Structure 1
């Protein structure tokens, strides 16, 4: 082989190696509290629903008995193996919508957590002393997931984050001021997540909380108003580009679950509600892609 042919083969081979080591992968983040961890029951999933295991999933320490911070094919990731969250339907639907893309989900959620303290993202990336405990776990989870994807030869791009949270800020014992500040805190949280991970155009999709008014959630209306105002199309001063709220008041609750162990639970979405919420998140992402 002469020197010219050798150099051509060398450069082509080097280019192919670099290209193969930097495959693009679309990353979607999942966060929030108990309706984000997921209260759907695996046993009640309809028989015609099939999980797309081509989608990758990495979660934090939220599921007992399973090793955290490990990439696996898509499966349930709630507080126990018998339950699931929006990851199943959302990941499957996103792969259906974007068949030519490699999809990866990174999830951290924690039941009962609030935004004003537990998910406090600090003033900026350097303000780590102000980070809430769940925001610390979230950052650790996302950083580990992205690091491992790069080590596997991927070039990860954070496309969107979905968020189901707000009950903790609406509770009577959280204080009405925290309920009133929910919109402001949510707007700041979104901006901080984008800056934290260098994802300026990241979509942020979230669902309304507490469909049924209950005494213990005295700040319900204030939290839901904040959610509405942050939406990019609200016309309010809190509105933020690429932030979208989805309706949830029509989703079935655990009180409606067949053979429900929680027949009075009108806070958490049941199996069918969780599946539909995941679909709605994926549909909203596709709508504004």
Structure 2
């Protein structure tokens, strides 16, 4: 009888050891799923947030890296549901014949995913070219204000913060329906060129951006949500308009906590964030650097 008990005890010990070994040798893909919280990043702005980077100009090595994280990084654009991280398909236009385009989201997603290999990300982007913070992007949007600066009835009728907020809520509800928890970890903003068109919009940019940040933070109950924005370096608008907006942008980090600015050069060689020949929109290299810079600033604030 004692021998039988000893054998049974021995078998139990072996089973415990075997189970322990199995537990510590979970394949890497399963480990990645252990973190159930989806990390959400909000993106908004005008054309340089829309993005005119040519995906085909990226190296094969970069494309492979993007493909490797696409199962953990999804993007929701204005008219699309959540899709794996990649380029967006567009029709050729007068300026750009290429159709595989991307904005900062591509390298924000890649940088965050490689930094946090066990986390899942959702990027929710709404951006419209040729729109102003004073008008269509105003936190207290009115049609009257939009008419003061936006060109055309279509743009004047856009309450862009509310459209973006609706899109965000739609995506968060999708996560809830899937039984997934989420955390909004930050927002990236690339906009300001069109506020250089009018003096009243340029000189009030810092105050208007402060109000917009507060709107997003209040709406989603994220009091200290990291907010990173790129400094414009455009050359159109009223005389001195771009310089006024640039100066206004530099005030924001001193006015609003947990914000950061990506400073840019006004040198027409665009050595920091390269542009297309139109001297307005960032090319593939410029968008790559912009996305990485956005992500690195978000990472700094997340880890503070």
Q: How high is the TM-score relative to the length of structure 2?
A: 0.73
Find the aligned partners of 1:137 and 1:77 in 2 and give their Cα distance.
Answer: 20
**Residue 219 of structure 1: how far off its partner (Å):** 1.2
- What is the 5 A alignment of 1:241-260? 241-249=257-265, 250-255=272-277
- What secondary structure, in the 3-state scheme, does the structure 2 residue paired with 1:178 have? helix
For the 8 Å contact 1:78–1:85, the answer to whether it is kept is no
String of CA shifts for 1:33-75, please: whole Å, max 9, x gaps: 00000010112112221312021111112xxxxxx2x112112
**Residue 78 of structure 1: how far off its partner (Å):** 7.2
Aligned twin of 2:169 = 143
String of CA shifts for 1:236-279, please: whole Å, max 9, x gaps: xxx21011001232211111xxxxxxxxx111111100011000
Find the aligned partners of 2:86 and 2:183 in 1 and give their Cα distance.
Answer: 21
- Which residue, out of 25, 28, 36, partners 2:41? 28
2:100 counterpart of 1:92: no
2:250 counterpart of 1:228: yes
- What secondary structure, in the 3-state scheme, does the structure 1 residue paired with 2:138 have? coil
Q: What count of residue pairs does the alignment treat as equivalent?
A: 237
- What secondary structure, in the 3-state scheme, does the structure 2 residue paired with 1:254 have? coil
Structure 1: runs of 5+ lacking an equivalent: 1-19, 62-67, 124-130, 256-264
- What is the 5 A alignment of 1:1-289? 23-49=36-62, 50-51=65-66, 52-53=69-70, 54-61=72-79, 68=80, 70-77=81-88, 80=91, 81-122=99-140, 132-171=158-197, 175-210=198-233, 213-214=235-236, 218-231=240-253, 234=254, 239-249=255-265, 250-255=272-277, 265-289=278-302
Could you say which structure has the larger radius of gyration?
A: 2
- What secondary structure, in the 3-state scheme, does the structure 1 residue paired with 2:60 have? coil
Flag the 1:283–1:245 CA change in 2: closer, same or farther, 3 A.
same
Find the aligned partners of 1:243 and 1:103 in 2 and give their Cα distance.
Answer: 21
Structure 1: 4+ residue segments shifted above 3 A: 77-81, 212-218
Flag the 1:170–1:215 CA change in 2: closer, same or farther, 3 A.
closer
Find the aligned partners of 2:205 and 2:162 in 1 and give their Cα distance.
Answer: 20
For the 8 Å contact 1:76–1:87, the answer to whether it is kept is no
Find the aligned partners of 2:53 and 2:238 in 1 and give their Cα distance.
Answer: 23
Flag the 1:118–1:284 CA change in 2: closer, same or farther, 3 A.
same
Higher helix share: 2
For the 8 Å contact 2:74–2:83, the answer to whether it is kept is yes
Flag the 1:242–1:166 CA change in 2: closer, same or farther, 3 A.
same
Aligned twin of 1:14 = none
Find the aligned partners of 2:207 and 2:216 in 1 and give their Cα distance.
Answer: 14
- What secondary structure, in the 3-state scheme, does the structure 2 residue paired with 1:168 have? helix
- What secondary structure, in the 3-state scheme, does the structure 2 residue paired with 1:200 have? coil
**Residue 121 of structure 1: how far off its partner (Å):** 1.9
Find the aligned partners of 2:133 and 2:296 in 1 and give their Cα distance.
Answer: 25
**Residue 287 of structure 1: how far off its partner (Å):** 1.4
String of CA shifts for 1:150-174, please: whole Å, max 9, x gaps: 1111111111000000001012xxx
Flag the 1:252–1:73 CA change in 2: closer, same or farther, 3 A.
same
Find the aligned partners of 2:258 and 2:86 in 1 and give their Cα distance.
Answer: 28
Flag the 1:157–1:215 CA change in 2: closer, same or farther, 3 A.
closer
For the 8 Å contact 1:39–1:78, the answer to whether it is kept is no
For the 8 Å contact 1:204–1:244, the answer to whether it is kept is yes
Find the aligned partners of 2:112 and 2:203 in 1 and give their Cα distance.
Answer: 34
